[in-house]
Structure 1
Amino acid sequence: MQDNPQSYGTVSRLFHWLMAAMFAFMSVSAYLFTVDDEYFSLMPYHKATGFFLAVLVVLRLLWALKNAARRPHGSLIVKLGHAALYALMIAVPFIGLIRQYGGGRGPLEIGGVTVFPAAPEKIQWMSELGNHWHGLLGWALFALVAGHILMAVVHQLKGEKILNRMAGPR
């Protein structure tokens, strides 16, 4: 269940693959918003997924910190890459939530349940922060994830069996 120097444990793997699927949906839906207005019907799902990602990334970070001494070891560049991934995985959904709260978009509702209310009136700095940074950092996260995947494949092809740490047998 816990991580060890050879591989990631069940909880880390669950966080990784669940969040990977959710971020894939977020990237596809964000792209579709730019293609045609009809895809804005996906917005409630995009927002709900973003909210759950915000919760999961905090839980994942706490789990990673708890398992830090037991995790597979990586080079400084790997650690910096993972730190950048975590920074963006935290920043992107939370900036989206800030925009939702203060951007005049109404309360965040998931399945008819109000998760948090909207600000009584639009808060300009929250709206501007979200409008400028949420999408920009989202695409930066997408690029970083693409690099993460590419490097995992490169290391695997070099015979380092890196994919087994997150996907292989325990």
Structure 2
Amino acid sequence: MRNKYTGLQIGIHWLVFLLVIVAYCAMEFRGFFPRSARPTINMIHVSCGIAILVLMVTRLLLRLKYPAPPITPKPKAMMTGMAHLGHLVIYLLFIALPLIGLVMMYSRGNDWYAFGLGMPHAAEANFERVDWLKSWHVTLANLGYVVIGLHALAALLHHYFWKDNTLLRMMPKKRT
């Protein structure tokens, strides 16, 4: 039995990590740019979101095909249950966030772009729906900070405190 995730799973994990950083930074730092840059910054955010959605669904399908390698030494059942719950939250969050964002952008009824391409939009704006979706998108995005922090903390605790191979299973291979 293998002791690491597949190279594709590892690559997707770290690519999603980078895309999440870019998506969050685009929104957090947009105020530092002139208003004329907003469409580009929004496009970067939306493009990252779409890429995250595609990669998270791909990662979920890969997880079904290639189960997680075992943690050694084997953790207690409660820790395993918490890990499963944490991963479920991560998958739900980073699939739901982009989906909500896409429906929100579509419902605005005006031009919007992803990857430099014009995207479809509703013939007529539904601002009530947009406001409701935006509030959920912002709330879940803020929750994302907590989830990401707990995920990173758990990985570090596994590595440095419990001294198991949890973190090492997701690290890229060392070049020889």
TM-score category, normalised to shorter length: 0.7 to 0.9
Structure number with larger C-alpha Rg: 2
Distance 1:27 1:62 in 2: 25
Partner of 1:83: 88
Q: 1:165 to 1:84 in 2, by over 3 A?
A: same
Q: What is the count of residue pairs matched by the alignment?
A: 163
Task: Tell me, yes or no, if structure 1 residue 126 matches structure 2 residue 129.
Answer: yes
**Further displaced range: 99-108 or 6-15:** 99-108
Distance 1:48 1:30 in 2: 13
Moved over 6 A (4+): none
Task: Tell me, yes or no, if structure 1 residue 99 matches structure 2 residue 104.
Answer: yes
Unaligned runs of 5+ in 1: none
Distance 1:149 1:15 in 2: 16
**Further displaced range: 139-148 or 92-101:** 139-148
Letter in 2 for 1:150: L
Q: 1:7 to 1:107 in 2, by over 3 A?
A: same
CA contact (8 A) 1:26 1:49 kept: yes
Partner of 1:72: 70
How far residue 118 of structure 1 moved from its aligned partner, in angstroms, is 0.6
Letter in 2 for 1:135: V
Unaligned runs of 5+ in 2: 72-78
Question: TM-score when scaled to structure 2?
Answer: 0.82
* RMSD, aligned α-carbons: 2.1
Partner of 1:142: 145
Q: SS of the counterpart of 2:4? A: coil
Partner of 1:25: 22
Summarize deviations over 1:113-170 as a string: whole Å, max 9, x none: 23x3110011245312322111210121122011101111111112113221000548
Distance 1:149 1:120 in 2: 43
CA contact (8 A) 1:100 1:118 kept: yes
Instruction: Give the fraction of aligned pairs with identical amino acids, expressed as a percent.
Output: 26
